Chains A and B, each alone.
Chain A
């Protein structure tokens, strides 16, 4: 089974800060990596698919990069509405899926 790790588990940043979250897979998953945003009491929302592609309608301050085992998710300028938990998710062996443990983002 492919395991996913994320770091940090939580972070606090100021409005306008650049925020970076990393996700690591236990084996090579090419670019089969997605990023989701989940706000309290809501279902997750897809932000980035296939490591670096921005989902339609998602603000351009969100971006993703990486391939193989190491991936990065970036918010270029943190906004108050970005307060949420962010999850990475791999699908190297579709339709088997694994999610990362999540990164909770707060405003400092």
Chain B
């Protein structure tokens, strides 16, 4: 059974870069034609797609975040990563990684990232 696990700092200072990694187990990140993506959810609010990377390495970003987002993949470690630059308090959220096609199929448990000095 595929499992995903987010990891990274839970506290980031304003103007710095948020960095998270998603480790995939129970399957290879590069062996199937899926997307691997990030979604976030501010406390008490709804879901926002951040971006995705295809198994081939192509990346796709939410236009509203595109200038600050980088998603990459490390197939040797079966991981993919998120970097969000120049963060503000508005970036405080639970960040989820997931495998998806048109449907978001398998999710990590989520990790809360707080932006505060």
Contacts and interface: CB of A to CB of B under 8 A. Distances in A.
Given A95-B52, A97-B49, A101-B46, A46 B104 contact: yes
Given A97-B49, A99-B48, A43 B109 contact: yes
Contacts of B105: 46
Interface residues of B, number: 23
Main secondary structure of the interface of A (DSSP, over half): loop
Interface string B84-108: 0000000000001010111111011
A91 B101 CA distance: 9
Nearest to B98: A43
Contacts of A100: 46
Given A101-B46, A102-B46, A44 B60 contact: no
Interface of B: 35, 37, 46-49, 52, 54, 60, 62-63, 96, 98, 100-105, 107-110
Given A46-B105, A95-B52, 18 more contacts: A1-B63, A32-B102, A34-B103, A38-B47, A42-B109, A43-B107, A43-B108, A46-B103, A89-B47, A89-B104, A94-B101, A95-B54, A95-B60, A96-B49, A97-B104, A99-B46, A99-B48, A102-B47
